[in-house]
Amino acid sequence: MKALVFEEFGGPEVLTYKEIDKPVLETDEILVRIEAAGLNFADVYRRKGNYHLAGKPPYILGYEGAGIVEDAGNHSGIKPGDRIAFADVPYANAEYVAVPVDKAIPIHDGITSDTAASVLLQGLTAQYLTRDSYQVKEGDVILVHAAAGGVGQILVQIIKMMGGKVIGLTSSAEKREAALKAGADEVFLYHENWTEKTMAYTNGIGADAVYESVGSTLNESFAAIRIGGTVIFYGMAGGDPLPVDPRMLMDQSKTLTGGDLWNVLTSKEERVNRSSELFNWILDGHIRIQPPLSFPMEKGADAHRLLESRKSTGKILLKP
């Protein structure tokens, strides 16, 4: 089979598409022929060497994908031809992937492989952020960082579905339009004084909560929420946050909480139930997924360059 691999850390130019051995299945695995694999910033960090990689080169990137079961082994309930997706299985940037049965997520009728590969990591992240980290309530005013990004656009739509009001933050006028199209009630740009604008928009009270994924803006996020408000920290795309003064949390009754998807996807039941709810939201029209931009896997370096440019607003897929 062919796979997108690299043998040394570096820029997109280290990626090559070449022939390697097909996976040999373990007893708890099925073989899936990949139709689409999602590209994420974690793949960029692994390519650069920022994240630890097990084993020896050639390394294969990709953790998210969708495809057709080629070999179901001896597992009942799964058969060749079934459509499955996964959010946390390595080596997805290849023609075939060995998928542990516990991590195989059935794809609902009406959901394409492109949609499944586009939405699982980002959609399940937005889901747990609004279900577990902070339960959005009717009438909440929520500030969403990077509101035009993959997680951001889904967050906007889930918050609106739950009866909240959304203030989005983006880096450009073009991305502002994307966030408004997703359903944000108002969008401010990062180069503006968005904390003051948020306070003015909320009549001097502040937002009820902030979904903070930039990191370096953490203290500004605290300045934009009301007394008793909550900051949900789930990423640091813009750099490490400064320390938070616990006396401020005490004096203003504010809360800092965090979240990580891998602390939520702890069993097959969790994966299937959460994915099922996400797929149903899409089928019911509550969440609209922007059509992804697809690259042939052999053009993976170009896909990485586009992702790193931060000029894309939708999901990028790689296809064998």
pLDDT value for 238: 84
Which part of the chain is CATH 3.40.50.720? 138-258
CATH superfamily of 2-120+264-319: Medium-chain alcohol dehydrogenases, catalytic domain (3.90.180.10)
Nearest to 180 by CA among 206, 205, 157: 157
Nearest to 67 by CA among 300, 314, 297: 297
Q: How far apart are CA 141 and CA 149, in angstroms?
A: 19
Give pLDDT tens digits for 198-208.
999 999 999 99
Q: How many CB atoms lie within 10 A of CB 306?
A: 16
Q: Which two tokens stand for residue 233?
A: 């920290």
Q: How many CB atoms lie within 10 A of CB 5?
A: 21
DSSP secondary structure code for residue 94 in this structure: B
Alpha carbon of 178 to those of 217, 250, 271, 290, 296: distances in Å? 21, 37, 29, 10, 26
pLDDT value for 55: 79
pLDDT < 50 regions, the chain? none
Q: Which two tokens stand for residue 61?
A: 């990137």
Nearest to 235 by CA among 296, 152, 154: 152
Which part of the chain is CATH 3.90.180.10? 2-120+264-319
pLDDT value for 52: 73
Q: Please, is 2 exposed, middle or buried when counting C-beta atoms within 10 Å of its C-beta (0-12, 13-18, 19+)?
A: middle
Q: How far apart are CA 219 and CA 149, in angstroms?
A: 21
Q: How many CB atoms lie within 10 A of CB 189?
A: 15
Q: How far apart are CA 50 and CA 41, in angstroms?
A: 11
Q: Which fold has domain 138-258?
A: Rossmann fold (3.40.50)
The b-or-e profile of 105-117 (16+ CB within 10 A means b, else e) is: bbbbeebebbbbb
pLDDT value for 313: 67
SS3 for 167?
strand
Could you tell me if 95 and 68 are in contact, meaning their C-beta atoms sit under 8 angstroms apart?
no
* Owner of token pair 């998210």: 64
Residue 58: cis peptide before it, omega within 30 degrees of 0: yes
Q: Give this prediction's pTM.
A: 0.91
**Pure H helices in 211-311:** 218-223, 246-251, 268-283, 300-309
Give pLDDT tens digits for 145-175.
999 988 999 999 999 999 999 999 999 999 9
Q: Which two tokens stand for residue 105?
A: 């997520």
pLDDT value for 308: 87
Q: Going by DSSP bridges, is the β-strand pair 59-60/2-6 parallel, antiparallel, or unpaired?
A: antiparallel
DSSP secondary structure code for residue 202 in this structure: T
Q: Which residues contact 303 (CB under 8 A, 6 or more apart)?
A: 39, 295, 316, 318
